[in-house]
Chain A
Amino acid sequence: MSLHNAAEINPARVNRLTGLMAEQGWDRLLLYGHAWRKDFFRYLLNVNFSGPYAIAALERSGQIRAVVSHPWDMEMLPEDTKVCDLPALTGGSVAVAGLELMDAGLANSLGAAPVSATALMEELRRIKAPEEIQALRRAAALADRGYECFAEIIEPGMAEFELVAEVEAFLKSNGAEDNFMLIASGGTEVTGMKPPTRRRFQPGDQVTTELTPQVDGYYAQICRTLVLGEPSAKQREAFSIFCEAQQAAQDLLRPGIDTADVARVQNDVFREHGYGEYTGAKYTRVRGHNLGLHPDENPYVLEDVHYTVKAGMTMIAHPNTYLPLSGYMVFGDTLLVTPAGCERLTMSEKKLFQK
């Protein structure tokens, strides 16, 4: 069932948040969202609002109010949520989740310097409840189907943006609220993914993509590479390195592991094959990241970022980088951390796709 317009307040989340407020001595917790980052707001009020911003306000008593910036958004709120103006939220000790995203003018109108609740909220959100995992499973299944659509439709002569239009249409038609997607095509000159261009696919192109559909608020991600035609020996060699690196991360991921080690085992594979220099910032961004209500959540999987993995986290491990063998290549799956290890949520075949 879709929850887009049927927001229900989750009592367990209210309890977790009021518990956090009591611990921190906050009288009021504001969960801010704007058009691109609705994640903090949606943790409490799962409403896909359409105005420039919205704020959910939680009192320590459990009372919930909301500030919305568009008249149509009021009608999507749960019936018992009172709508109020911003001045009603001033006074007392106020903490804001998403403060860093908030317009300075809006933040300053809250009165005395507000406290950021962002880091603590991110920590609270990392471990997913069963209903969140169900949404992530649905998003992962749609990511798989979205990639199937991508691989089926692509053909030489089609422009990158035309392919993206088809994939977006497929995902939206099948229930995605949103999708974060990057793409690249060409050969060894390609150093990274970006939004689609007018470039037309050519025989022999290597086409990379990252699909991240959002279902009921939650994003799952898949990264795959496809060759239009017969992959070259170098492309096959490169893919085997990516596959080995991703598998190393998947084999390691379990509660208690340091995320830095999840990055290290991936990078070690590249080092063993003589491509260690391509694991740095010049050629790549991160070796994975957390997933949830935002498609690019902390912690980032990097060798210098330390975080102890916990059961219930959902992450992607993707050793995406440039290699001189192939150009920029991507490969990654969404993984749910279980008590004993991890479960792959995106189930597309682990292969170098070709068409």
Chain B
Amino acid sequence: MKRGLIAWDKSELPPRAFETRLKRARERLAELDLPALAVYSDLWRSNYGRFYSNLMLYFNRAILLIPRHEQLLALCGLSPRVYPWIKSVTVLQEIVPSPDLSAKLVEVCSQRNWRRIGMIDPKGLPYDLHRALAAQLEIQTVPHESDEWERTMHRRARQMAWDGLNEELPASVGMLDREFVGQLERSLRRAGAEDLAILTTNGDRAPAPPSGQTLHDGFSVSVALEYRGHWTKIAQHHGSADSAIPRAAFLEVLSGALPFEICETPPEGAVVASALETRDGARRYFSGDAFWSTKNSLEPL
């Protein structure tokens, strides 16, 4: 997880994007009469932390604290030895070493006499952290708001995934699935992918991690790719499946608290992945793409 390039390119995500997001968060805090917003982040639950600061942890966990009237700070479980690197890829200026995250957050809040704070998706906190915090602080849920910068980054992730797949897919039949996955990893990580989850199938089952099978004509591949904290998920099959009949489809939220959560009705503003299974006899084909969910429809990213 997240052992590719973690970077902040200010030409694609300018500092004013984060300034605007933090300003909006503080306006929301004012509306709710809350002194601060706490945003949890770890390797897997990284979407919201990335949104407000570009923080992308590769290990351990952290809480971003967005006070209404003070500078943004991060309480971080990682060693201070890597804080210069964290500062180089985020908007963070102040990082507080926090081996015990809940104790440090409670301490910071009590120093400021804050009894009630806001949090995005408190139910998504790890159980131990939620329990420790809920015992000492009143936590109010603050909704997350997406923006166009975020969609633009998801768009880039999607394009990167399609470019890589279109390049590698044509010559893939006859390769072992793991060799094909390795080749895609090389191509996509060299292009700047941060994290990847690639699944394949010869059409006899759903896409799954490689198991040493030779890829046959018509095989399907699913590529989940994270580019600078923004996930996409696409799927494609090799060759034609003209006579295949649609059998199943589902949607996964990519920009929510956890990527790939299945949803019946996508939240407005979310980036979602759509997966479609078709069948031709017993042979199964998979395809999919990423979209932006608007009020009444899914729009192309």
Contacts and interface: CB of A to CB of B under 8 A. Distances in A.
Contacts of B205: 5, 75
B171 interface: no
A103 B97 CA distance: 24
Interface residues on A, range: 35 or more
Interface stretch (A79-87, A194-202, A231-239, A304-312): A194-202
Q: How large is the interface on B (under 10, 10 to 19, 20 to 34, 35 or more residues)?
A: 35 or more
A166 B186 contact: yes
Interface in A269-302: 281-283, 285, 296
B209 A50 contact: yes
Given A5-B208, A175-B212, A281-B79, A165 B250 contact: no
Contacts of A100: 126-128
A181 interface: yes
Contacts of B245: none
Interface stretch (A66-74, A126-134, A251-259, A338-346): A66-74
Nearest to A328: B81
B186 A99 contact: no
B130 interface: yes
B180 to A, nearest CB: 9
A164 B3 contact: yes
B279 interface: no
B132 to A, nearest CB: 11
B6 interface: yes
B178 A104 contact: no
Given A5-B209, A72-B206, A192-B79, A103 B3 contact: no
Given A169-B182, A195-B58, A4 B127 contact: no
Interface in B64-91: 79-82, 84-85
A208 to B, nearest CB: 13
Interface string A92-119: 0000000111111101100000000000
Contacts of B16: none
A173 interface: yes
Contact of A103 (B5, B82, B124, B252): B124
Interface string A170-201: 11111101111110000000011011111000
Contact of B127 (A52, A99, A173, A174): A99
Contacts of A101: 126-127
B124 A104 contact: yes
Interface string A1-23: 01011100000000000000000
B189 A161 contact: yes
Nearest to A102: B127
A34 interface: yes
Given A4-B210, A52-B260, A179-B3, A173 B189 contact: no
B282 interface: no
B259 interface: yes
A196 B252 CA distance: 29
Given A75-B208, A100-B127, A195-B2, A172 B81 contact: no
Given A4-B211, A166-B186, A161 B127 contact: no
B30 interface: no
A165 B4 contact: yes
Interface in A46-85: 48, 50-53, 69-72, 74-76
A39 interface: no
A180 B3 contact: yes
Contacts of B185: 165, 168-169, 172
B183 interface: yes
Interface of B: 1-7, 42-44, 58-59, 79-82, 84-85, 122-131, 178-179, 181-183, 185-186, 189-190, 192, 197, 199, 205-212, 224, 248, 250, 252, 258-262
Interface of A: 2, 4-6, 34-36, 48, 50-53, 69-72, 74-76, 99-105, 107-108, 161-162, 164-166, 168-175, 177-182, 191-192, 194-198, 281-283, 285, 296, 322, 328
Given A50-B209, A50-B224, A198-B5, 13 more contacts: A48-B209, A52-B261, A103-B126, A104-B123, A108-B123, A164-B4, A166-B186, A172-B178, A173-B179, A182-B58, A197-B5, A281-B79, A283-B81
17 contacts: A5-B205, A35-B258, A50-B209, A52-B261, A69-B261, A72-B208, A99-B128, A100-B126, A104-B122, A165-B186, A172-B181, A172-B185, A175-B178, A182-B58, A195-B3, A198-B7, A281-B79
